[in-house]
Chains A and B, each alone.
Chain A
């Protein structure tokens, strides 16, 4: 008897606003504990939240990009639970009227297209961080992250495999990055996924009892956790057991998940409307303004690169792997009017340098003006391909000035000064036999003479200029 795995995802993404959702504290990652904290986000009695308008704009944009209906009359609700990562003992979230509903995302899992339905997207506040203090055995709390705006993007249980889940997450991440609503850094927790998973016998239509897995910090961990949990549930059921609906924590080091007993009884959230925030009214004008502000998304860019620049699907995919990369490519294509050359530089030399130096695409900071200058130099025959590669690397690793670097390292090709004419004259004088052969019609003799001239110029001769000077002298 075979089994089918059914998965739904809850993706949390921290929004790239400057300030928190309900107060003016910074959202910057990694400050000293409790230095990005004020009476509002630390839940002091008597304070009142005030909604950051940018959060709503980012939410609407995300909803539009995922083909959602935008809720016109929305509000916030309190989700009550007592846990020290939330100083108010409730999280301000949206249960009854989430800002976006009924969307979808088209994915391609290993060549198989599929549409994943998105049930809703709601706005909420992030919680603080708990740190175990081994000295005293107590728990320390850092509220810097508390109140950072989150979108929770909730899918329908439409996934049947880890591959589909990962294809969806890749596409969603790419969409959020190109919308510039989140930096999606999983290592900093700005993109997190909870996996709701159940299994059922193939052919059954009713859903099995699901578990929810948390603490999934990388795409790799998500893939492994899904495989583990599906196998665990099938084992339990095949041995005649029952699945307990519970929250499980994934331990990526040990490769196992375990039940989070501490939260077992805390599932009664007693939601009620948040009285401290006024309702939210989104009119047609606002939705249309956000629609007009939607940038070109990665899949749209890919189609354009292929159609307009004649790039391969593979190169187009590499160029849209991150917003920083496509931004750089487009700036280079624009400045040099040589999109193919710009694409070759980014997909070839720059990707190699990113890999070699272990630089993440989001940290790519190469200056487009500098690199464009190098492309122009190589296309104009001022430097050869080897010098071009060398200079690109110097610009990437040392932020070198291209013209200074080329002149300091003697990389400029010789084309129109006396050196080319002098070398050609010397080669013609030194090789009378080859000159005679060429004049008698032996084309390969020209190649030999060319090689000799280039050698005299120390490899810095512009091949076109040398070839022309040679032909002029011989004919």
Chain B
């Protein structure tokens, strides 16, 4: 599968990213390689193999409805590129 400029522009839009021309060219190459690598799976004969959503046979991994401690806010906010005292900060999104 060829990742072309139009598809890159579409993905850029969906991901809300703004890429330079050099980045777009590099990404097109990378994505073509990744999709090509996955396309290798198409060579397998899967006729007769039932469709499944998960590689493991296990089901129902639950936790009980019990409240535990949340994280320290200052520690959580430290992971973000930008934050105020109480909240994460992102570029203007709300109109």
Contact = CB atoms under 8 A, between A and B. Distances in A.
A137 interface: yes
Interface string B54-88: 10101111111111111101001101001010111
Contacts of A268: 14
Given A39-B71, A42-B76, A138-B89, A24 B62 contact: no
A444 interface: no
B95 interface: yes
Nearest to A27: B67
Nearest to B85: A33
Interface residues of A, number: 56
A82 B15 contact: yes
Interface residues of B, number: 37
B73 A35 contact: yes
A278 B61 contact: yes
A165 B51 CA distance: 39
Contacts of A54: 64-65
A26 B69 CA distance: 8
Contact of B86 (A24, A33, A277): A33
The 10 closest A-B pairs by CB, nearest first: A24-B68, A54-B65, A53-B62, A140-B87, A281-B59, A273-B53, A141-B88, A132-B94, A139-B93, A33-B86
B87 A52 contact: no
Given A44-B79, A53-B64, A281-B59, A262 B95 contact: yes
22 contacts: A19-B67, A23-B68, A24-B63, A26-B67, A33-B86, A34-B73, A37-B76, A51-B62, A54-B65, A82-B15, A84-B90, A131-B87, A132-B92, A138-B91, A139-B91, A141-B87, A143-B88, A262-B95, A265-B14, A278-B56, A279-B54, A280-B59
Interface string A19-40: 1000111100000111111110
Interface centre among B16, B70, B90, B94 (most CB of A within 10 A): B70
Contacts of B14: 80-82, 265-266, 268, 270
Given A37-B70, A273-B53, A278-B59, A137 B76 contact: no
Given A52-B64, A80-B14, A140-B84, 14 more contacts: A25-B68, A26-B70, A34-B73, A36-B70, A37-B73, A37-B76, A52-B65, A96-B53, A136-B89, A138-B90, A140-B88, A141-B87, A278-B61, A281-B60
A139 B13 contact: no
Interface of B: 13-16, 53-54, 56, 58-71, 73, 76-77, 79, 82, 84, 86-95
Nearest to B56: A278
Contact of A34 (B62, B65, B86, B92): B86
B16 A82 contact: yes
Interface string A33-67: 11111110010100000111111100000000000
Interface in A2-22: 17-19
